[in-house]
Chains A and B, each alone.
Chain A
Amino acid sequence: MREKAQGIPAASFGRGSITLVAVLLLVLAPVSIADGQAIEYERPVETAPQENDIGGGYVTPQVQKPRPRDFWLQVLDVALLAAALALSVWTVVTRRSRKGLVALSIGCLVYFGFYREGCVCPVGSIQNVVVALTDSKYSIPIVVTATFFLPLLVAVFFGRAFCGGVCALGAIQELVVWKPIQVPQRLERTLGLLKYVYLGLAIWFAVQPAISRDFLICRFDPFVGLFRRTGFPHMLMIGGGFLLAGLFIGRPYCRYLCPYGGLLEWCTRLAKRGVTITPAKELECGLCIESCPYAAIEQRRAVRRKCLYCARCYASCPHEGPLARAKAGLVTVSPPG
């Protein structure tokens, strides 16, 4: 078709049919088409006129094709995730610094949350990994694999360093904890099981055939709408609801719903290091228990699988952090006995 059009001499015939319509319009329109009537439309060309049909030095404009985020930037995201995990371990386990942890939380919230819009997300990657493991036609990029496994790997050695300060979903809740109440232990345990139900459901919906597959964790991510500053009204409201509840119940999504938290709990059971209430230096004052909003200190010992690496216990301890430094040189506190 196109060859035929180009075989016609110098842009005359292609225009001929346009002229025809034009003549029809100019001559007939005022006469035969009364006001309020439409033209009788007929397409004036059979094929698209090309540069030489149009002539006059016309150049066909380029169609803009914006490219997705570059690969090296995605690798940078993973590198930053690894760096943030290392920093979380160092700040909490080695430095025992709540201030450092808050700074890290803000940094990760800004980068992974508001800048990357919540989408360097090990939590959601559960689904991709499950589908890639079960569907032979589905594969995931290496960066997604790394995003999924890095926090688990760290958890096997140091516990839930990802939850403290690195995870954007966690960080936004961490920063709104205001007057946390202690949830009764039995209720805490029961609610804690919800995340495994959610994990099971998420896997079930993800392993469906491609057409009916659904990614529940992403669809019902309560905070991603806040990060993107746009989203479905009901999800924004649920996100706001979680933050509001989070003023009084520390990090409700992390403790009761986060499916990735469930996986991290399992890995953390193997961890040798992590947050420790040091018996040798202990005062038995119980301040750390009161300071923990996540019920992760039982019988004055840190329960690592529940510990979200917030370092509040260190900040509250007369033997650690700012309190100890303020007292240094004034009083010597020694363990009883």
Chain B
Amino acid sequence: MSEKPTRRDVLGTAARATVLAGLGGAAAFLVKKAQGQVVWQIDASKCVNSRLGEVGVEVCTRCTTDCVVSLSAVRAVNEYSRCGRCAICPAYFNITSAVDERGLPSEKRCPRDAIERKPIGDIDPEDPANNYFEYVIDEEKCDGCGKCVMGCKEPLGLGSIVLRVRYNLCVDCNRCAISTACPKDALFQMPVEEALKAVEIERHA
């Protein structure tokens, strides 16, 4: 095709150049603005189940019911360094249930029996309650319903259990379905390092 380009060819090339410049400009703008990877995470200071001062309210289970992942991508996570390791854990036991023959509440809080209660060290047979216990959450069973989180909240517990988005499960929806359902707008996109930090629950006025 060594012929002289027609008017059509020239216009076509011009249009193509304009569109490419437009696309390139928009892309450059976005790249300049880019801030690295962001992920969804729960702000425990906003979540109704862990937020201080909200006592006697219903446990919010939206993280379980609204996540697109089966069993939810949210799990209750026990931050061990803040756990009281109480013999009678208000997150593990339903402390309003009747006492059984062992002197412990007869009902557990977790509807899926996902928390394991392990004594730390040897148990004194004379005085079994005088012992620390480790509470380990089985993430295969947990569905992030938040019942233990509510139980662990101060003043009953020390607030060591919080709901967290787990990134081995989260499929990173463009618009997280829980975030749109959350009554307290507690789900945000944040930089990865911030999302993985240990939780500090702020006191809201």
- Partner-B contacts on A (CB < 8 A): 15, 18-19, 21-23, 25-26, 29-30, 33, 35-39, 41, 43-45, 47-50, 54, 56, 58, 60-61, 63-69, 71, 74, 117, 119, 124, 127-129, 132-133, 139-142, 145, 149, 152-153, 156, 211, 213-215, 218-219, 225, 228, 230-232, 267, 270, 272
Contacts and interface: CB of A to CB of B under 8 A. Distances in A.
A133 B30 contact: yes
Interface string B155-190: 111101000001111111111010010000100000
A206 to B, nearest CB: 9
Contacts of A49: 84-85, 132
Contacts of A61: 80, 134, 136
A39 to B, nearest CB: 6
7 contacts: A30-B103, A39-B99, A60-B80, A60-B81, A69-B172, A140-B33, A267-B19
Q: Which 9 A-B pairs have the closest CB atoms?
A: A22-B129, A215-B175, A66-B168, A68-B167, A41-B95, A230-B70, A25-B103, A218-B174, A45-B84
Tell me whether chain A's interface is mostly helix, strand or loop, or mixed: loop
Contacts of B139: 64
B132 A54 contact: yes
A18 B158 CA distance: 15
B34 A50 contact: no
B38 A45 contact: no
Contact of B157 (A43, A128, A139): A43
B22 to A, nearest CB: 10
Contacts of A54: 85, 120-121, 132
B68 interface: yes
Contacts of B177: 219
Contacts of A41: 88, 90, 95, 156
A19 B130 CA distance: 5
B55 interface: no
B104 to A, nearest CB: 8
A48 B97 contact: no
A167 B136 CA distance: 43
Given A43-B155, A60-B81, 10 more contacts: A18-B86, A19-B127, A21-B87, A29-B103, A43-B157, A44-B86, A45-B86, A56-B121, A68-B172, A156-B23
A127 to B, nearest CB: 7
Interface in B99-117: 99, 103, 105
Given A37-B99, A48-B160, A145-B34, A270 B27 contact: no
Contacts of A36: 98
A270 B95 contact: no
A66 B103 contact: no
Contacts of A149: 23, 26-27
B54 interface: no
Interface string B57-92: 000000000001110000001111111111110100
Contacts of A132: 30, 33
A37 B23 contact: no
- Residue in A33, A39, A61, A133 whose Cβ sees the most chain B Cβ within 10 Å: A39
Given A133-B29, A139-B33, A58 B120 contact: yes
B56 interface: no
B20 to A, nearest CB: 6
A272 B19 CA distance: 14
Nearest to B98: A36
B53 interface: no
- Residue in A19, A43, A74, A128 whose Cβ sees the most chain B Cβ within 10 Å: A43
A37 B96 CA distance: 8
Contacts of A60: 80-81
B16 interface: yes
A320 B138 CA distance: 60
A156 B128 CA distance: 75
B174 A215 contact: yes
Contacts of A117: 171
A119 B171 CA distance: 8
B171 to A, nearest CB: 6
